[in-house]
């Protein structure tokens, strides 16, 4: 597709304008004669890359998310807009792209970067929904507080959430305030936060079933974010000696310095060297911990979905599951997120909507920005004018249809575009001049091991992809922070 169509041609061919898309009415809810609108169960999983059985990772034990995928549509090529917690969530929850001066770091406040933003949950609340936030939805619990019908709830206690005395002791002694990078304790599921969040979600569902309003119940699970703490039985699901290390634990050939980092987030934990590569045994232990946390959180999601079924709510509830960005498990010599490689940007997305055939997967390119307008369409809510994503509901009904030519992400000064075949990133100074580039051909180099942006034969391709980035930068309805006029009144 890259060589045949420009983005504008592509949109024209699809009969779509770049800015807006007229949405047909809801598929199954609020039909003539009334009927309750569908509920939304909105599940966020912190730092979950698509390391799931249903995404082809057969060693993973994720039966509950796999079952959800069996009931719904799995977006195999879904991308976050920013590979860091707070910024990714602020973009997804406001439906607006990040820019050079908006949605930048992990500790973003959506309401400060985009004053007056009409958030996704607020839009639902304004349209008659009872909205609840449990766990980590916005990065800061009280961000966009008026989005919620009840005060956002989180488990109490230090965020590291250690249960072992030794871990707590190491935390007190450590200079960074962080303890060990992982913990395995023989405790019940709800000794850790994610089990408590599932308990709260289950009790909320029982309460919400009795209300005459539809609900938007958001559950933000904390794992597999560091530290990798999970009950021992989830560690025991995997044999450490059978866990493979990344097969490309090196700097990609020709990758610029701007593409890489020193994974300071992980290095601040006790027992992690301050510099250099990790010993294989430690790397294997960390990957084991990540897998254990994925299985632990998967089990908590399973408990909530089982309750949804038991209460008879499933037939009128849309279930959306997303991570907030990817994660490096040693690929490119990197750990954590914070970069513009596929490992950081590729993120899971599964949507199960009553009335739409499940068990299907799509290879179409989608963005987390698309979640907001899609939920509006599924629930027959008006589409706020400020949204920059596009509803993927047509894609859910026909997963093989022609869709977006490209999707866009960014991290600090690096703007990145992913097409069917390529990922291209360019880093710019404030004055707009480019100081680094990288280009990967996913057809021949899916793991991004050789940067080909400087090859003479790719000059035109780099120019074309650069133009696409320029186009998306200038197309933003809200290009600069502060220029938010119209957002708060756009419902
Ligand atoms: Ca995160």
Whole-number Å distance, alpha carbon 353 to ligand 1 midpoint, is 25
Name the 3-class secondary structure at 180.
strand
The pair of three-digit structure tokens given for residue 267, joined into one six-digit string: 């290095």
Inside any domain, residue 284: yes
Inside any domain, residue 489: no
Residue 120 in this model has a pLDDT that exceeds 70:
yes
Inside any domain, residue 290: yes
Active site residue 293: no
Instruction: Grade residue 269 by pLDDT with cuts at 50, 70 and 90.
Output: very high
370 vs 91: CA distance, rounded Å: 10
Whole-number Å distance, alpha carbon 457 to ligand 1 midpoint, is 38
pLDDT tens digit sequence for 306-338: 999 999 999 999 999 999 999 999 999 999 999
- Indicate the number of domains in the chain: 1
Name the 3-class secondary structure at 199.
helix
Inside any domain, residue 409: no
CATH of the domain at 299: 3.40.720.10
Helix, strand and coil percent figures for the chain, each rounded to 5: 35, 20, 50
Q: CA angle, corner 218, sides to 212 and 221, nearest 5? A: 145
Task: Please report, for the chain, how many H helices and E strands are present, in that order.
Answer: 14, 15
374 or 15, which is more confident? 374
Q: What is the pTM of this model?
A: 0.91
Q: Determine which one of 26, 54, 130, 139 is catalytic.
A: 139
One DSSP character per residue, 31-71 reads: -TT--PPPEEEEEEETT--S-SGGGT-TT---HHHHHHHHH
Inside any domain, residue 168: yes
Inside any domain, residue 428: no
- Structural domain of residue 208, as residue ranges? 24-404
Active site residue 140: no
Q: Determine which one of 54, 80, 85, 339 is catalytic.
A: 85
- Region 443-463: mean pLDDT is 98
Q: Output the CA torsion 204→210→213→216 (10° steps).
A: 20
Query: For residue 216, which of 145, 311, 122, 304 has the smallest C-alpha distance?
Result: 122
Whole-number Å distance, alpha carbon 181 to ligand 1 midpoint, is 16
Inside any domain, residue 378: yes
- Region 377-405: mean pLDDT is 97
The pair of three-digit structure tokens given for residue 407, joined into one six-digit string: 């999707």
Question: Token match 């199960």: residue?
Answer: 352
Please give the span between the terminal C-alpha atoms of the chain, in angstroms, as a whole number. 36
Instruction: Round the average pLDDT of the chain to a whole number and report it.
Output: 91
Inside any domain, residue 413: no
């Amino acid at each position: 597709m890259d060589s045949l169509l420009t983005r504008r041609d592509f949109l024209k061919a699809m009969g779509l304008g770049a800015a807006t898309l007229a949405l047909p009415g809801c598929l199954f809810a609020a039909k003539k004669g009334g009927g309750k609108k569908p509920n939304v169960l909105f599940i966020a999983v912190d730092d979950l890359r698509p390391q799931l059985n249903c995404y082809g990772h057969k060693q993973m034990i994720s039966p509950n998310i796999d079952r959800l995928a069996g009931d719904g549509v799995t977006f195999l090529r879904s991308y976050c807009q920013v590979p860091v917690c707070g910024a990714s969530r602020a973009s997804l929850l406001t439906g607006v792209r990040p820019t050079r001066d908006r949605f930048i770091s992990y500790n973003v406040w959506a309401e400060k970067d985009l004053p007056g933003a009409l958030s996704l949950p607020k839009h639902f609340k304004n349209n008659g929904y009872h909205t609840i936030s449990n766990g980590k939805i916005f990065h800061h619990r009280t961000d966009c507080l008026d989005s919620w019908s009840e005060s956002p709830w989180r488990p109490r206690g230090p965020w590291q959430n250690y249960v072992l005395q030794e871990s707590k002791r190491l935390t007190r002694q450590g200079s960074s305030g962080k303890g060990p990078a992982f913990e395995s304790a023989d405790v019940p599921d709800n000794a850790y936060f994610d089990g408590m969040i599932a308990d709260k979600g289950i009790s909320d569902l029982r309460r919400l079933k009795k209300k005459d309003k539809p609900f938007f119940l958001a559950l933000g699970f904390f794992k597999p974010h560091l530290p990798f703490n999970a009950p021992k039985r989830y560690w025991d699901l995997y044999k450490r000696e059978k866990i493979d290390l990344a097969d490309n634990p090196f700097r990609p050939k020709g990758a610029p310095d701007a593409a890489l980092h020193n994974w300071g987030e992980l290095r601040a934990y006790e027992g992690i060297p301050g510099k250099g590569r990790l010993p294989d045994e430690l790397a294997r232990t960390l990957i084991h911990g990540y897998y254990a946390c994925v299985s632990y959180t998967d089990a908590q999601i399973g408990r909530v979905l089982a309750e949804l079924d038991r209460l008879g709510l499933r037939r009128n509830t849309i279930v959306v599951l997303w991570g907030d960005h990817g994660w490096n498990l040693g690929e490119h010599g990197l750990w954590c997120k914070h970069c513009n490689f596929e490992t950081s940007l590729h993120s899971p997305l599964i949507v199960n909507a009553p009335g739409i055939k499940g068990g299907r997967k799509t290879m179409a390119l989608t963005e987390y920005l698309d979640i907001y307008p899609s939920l509006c369409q599924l629930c027959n809510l008006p589409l706020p004018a400020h949204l920059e994503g596009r509803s993927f509901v047509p894609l859910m009904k026909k997963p093989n249809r022609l869709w977006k030519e490209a999707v866009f992400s960014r991290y600090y000064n690096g703007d990145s575009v992913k097409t069917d075949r390529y990922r291209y990133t360019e880093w710019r100074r404030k004055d707009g001049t480019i100081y680094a580039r990288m280009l990967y051909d996913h057809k021949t180099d899916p793991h991004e091991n050789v940067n080909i942006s400087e090859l003479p034969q790719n000059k035109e391709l780099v120019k074309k992809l650069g133009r696409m980035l320029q186009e998306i930068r200038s197309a933003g309805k809200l290009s600069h922070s502060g220029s938010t006029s119209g957002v708060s009144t756009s419902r």
